């Protein structure tokens, strides 16, 4: 992981030697002042964001797959991504209807983060209220999917009446961007991911019991309702904050838990939790390194890269093993 972290910082439009990257991070200076500025102000923040996203999405995916006992469940099954997209779509695509002063604030990066966070939060509160009235866990999954369909329909209607410039801005956000965060934004994102991980750690033991069903978990003395709310809350914090700051990132939350299960051949969450966390960070660093094609100024969208390179890996692993450990 340390090597991938240094390699990620090294690669880009200007390839910086690993030795200079190492000395810049430890001593705050390297052989060229311009390289030092690029490392500390552009590439280091992006590499840190990549690790946070990989950790957050992979862990939330593992929690969702275990809670719903569904290998296709991911961190966005609760409709959080769709809620964030709706918030951003209303701000970007509906900004022309607002006064100029308000319009300029809302289409800024800070305004987009607020809109995305608010959209995710509204969907989270709605799902938790409905979850309190439903006993069936699978029903919560269906409710999340319905929220996703509803918000997608509203976003589609907004795009129909939007200008080309507004559509382009919304499309860029939806493809994901890791390089636009300031250090203060990274600090907030770090706190959100750390909070979600802390709550998730308390669920490691109950997760093993949940694999065998709700009734078995209750027979072992596990408070199922409390565990369910902790998992829903931690997933919402992780997926919601990440989507708010960098946009929706595909594949990571769905596929990384399966990669960990297939490599370690176990369903014990004491192993899966930490291996998924590490795999998520490493895979995200690799995907981010691919987005910045060395020697060129071309930067590919991270969402496209995670899907293009991630899906074949999972298909190959599944064909090779022919079964999912679950």
Q: What is the dihedral of CA 81, 84, 85, 90, to 10 degrees?
A: 160
Given a cut of 90, whether residue 300 has pLDDT beyond it is: no
Topology of 2-321 in CATH?
ABC transporter involved in vitamin B12 uptake, BtuC (1.10.3470)
For residue 56, the model assigns a pLDDT of 93
**77 CB-near residues (< 8 Å, 6+ apart):** 64, 68, 141, 144, 145
For residue 50, the model assigns a pLDDT of 94
Contact 5, 47 (CB under 8 A): yes
In degrees, to the nearest 5, what angle opens at C-alpha 93 toward C-alphas 89 and 99? 120
Given a cut of 70, whether residue 202 has pLDDT beyond it is: yes
Arithmetic mean of pLDDT over the chain: 82
For residue 47, the model assigns a pLDDT of 93
For residue 185, the model assigns a pLDDT of 86
The more confidently predicted of residues 171 and 131 is 171
Q: pLDDT band for position 318 (50/70/90)?
A: low
The more confidently predicted of residues 190 and 40 is 190
In degrees, to the nearest 5, what angle opens at C-alpha 25 toward C-alphas 22 and 27? 95
What would the mean pLDDT of 30-39 be, rounded to a whole number? 82
Given a cut of 60, whether residue 322 has pLDDT beyond it is: no
The more confidently predicted of residues 71 and 320 is 71
For residue 216, the model assigns a pLDDT of 82
**β-bridge mates for residue 292, sequence order:** 299
Q: Which two tokens stand for residue 222?
A: 């596990």
| Extents of the domains making up the chain | 2-321
Listed range (29-33, 117-121, 151-155, 321-325) with the worst mean pLDDT: 321-325
Given a cut of 80, whether residue 103 has pLDDT beyond it is: no
Of all residues in the chain, the percent with pLDDT exceeding 70 is 91
With 0.95 as the threshold, say if the pTM is over it: no
Max mean pLDDT range (73-82, 191-200, 220-229): 191-200
φ/ψ region of 30 (left if φ > 0, alpha if ψ in -120 to 50, else beta) reads beta
φ/ψ region of 24 (left if φ > 0, alpha if ψ in -120 to 50, else beta) reads alpha
Q: pLDDT band for position 200 (50/70/90)?
A: very high
Rounded Cα distance, 33 and 25, in Å: 13
- Per-residue pLDDT of 127-148, as tens digits, reads 777 777 776 767 777 887 888 8
Given a cut of 60, whether residue 162 has pLDDT beyond it is: yes
- Per-residue pLDDT of 234-293, as tens digits, reads 888 888 888 888 888 888 888 899 889 888 888 888 899 999 999 999 999 999 988 887
**156 CB-near residues (< 8 Å, 6+ apart):** none
The more confidently predicted of residues 96 and 18 is 18
**3 CB-near residues (< 8 Å, 6+ apart):** none
Where b means 16+ CB within 10 Å and e means fewer, 84-97 reads: bbbbbbbbbbebee
């Amino acid at each position: 992981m340390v090597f991938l972290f240094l390699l990620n910082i090294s690669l880009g439009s200007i390839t910086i030697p690993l030795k200079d990257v190492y000395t810049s991070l430890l001593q705050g200076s390297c052989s060229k002042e311009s390289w030092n500025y690029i490392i500390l102000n552009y590439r280091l923040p992006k590499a840190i964001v990549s690790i946070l996203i990989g950790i957050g999405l992979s862990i939330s995916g593992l929690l969702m797959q275990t809670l719903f006992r569904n290998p296709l469940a991911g961190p966005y099954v609760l409709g959080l991504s769709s809620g964030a997209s709706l918030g951003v779509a209303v701000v970007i695509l509906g900004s022309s209807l607002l006064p100029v002063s308000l319009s300029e604030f809302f289409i800024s990066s800070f305004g987009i983060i607020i809109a995305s966070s608010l959209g995710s939060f509204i969907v989270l509160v709605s799902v938790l209220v409905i979850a309190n009235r439903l006993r069936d866990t699978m029903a919560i999954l269906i409710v999340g999917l319905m929220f996703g369909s509803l918000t997608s329909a509203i976003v589609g209607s907004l795009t129909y009446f939007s200008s080309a410039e507004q559509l382009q801005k919304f499309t860029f956000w939806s493809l994901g961007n890791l390089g636009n965060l300031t250090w203060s934004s990274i600090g907030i994102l770090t706190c959100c991911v750390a909070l979600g991980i802390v709550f998730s750690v308390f669920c490691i033991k109950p997760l093993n019991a949940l694999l065998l069903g709700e009734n078995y978990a209750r027979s072992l003395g596990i408070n199922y309702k409390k565990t369910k709310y902790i998992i829903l809350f931690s997933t919402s914090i992780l997926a919601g904050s990440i989507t708010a700051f960098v946009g929706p990132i595909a594949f990571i939350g769905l596929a990384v838990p399966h990669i960990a299960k297939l490599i370690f051949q176990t369903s014990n969450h004491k192993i899966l939790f930490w291996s998924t966390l590490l795999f998520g960070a490493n895979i995200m660093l690799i995907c981010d390194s691919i987005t910045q094609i060395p020697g060129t100024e071309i930067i590919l969208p991270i969402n496209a890269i995670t899907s293009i390179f991630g899906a074949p890996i999972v298909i190959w692993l599944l064909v090779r093993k022919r079964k999912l450990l679950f």
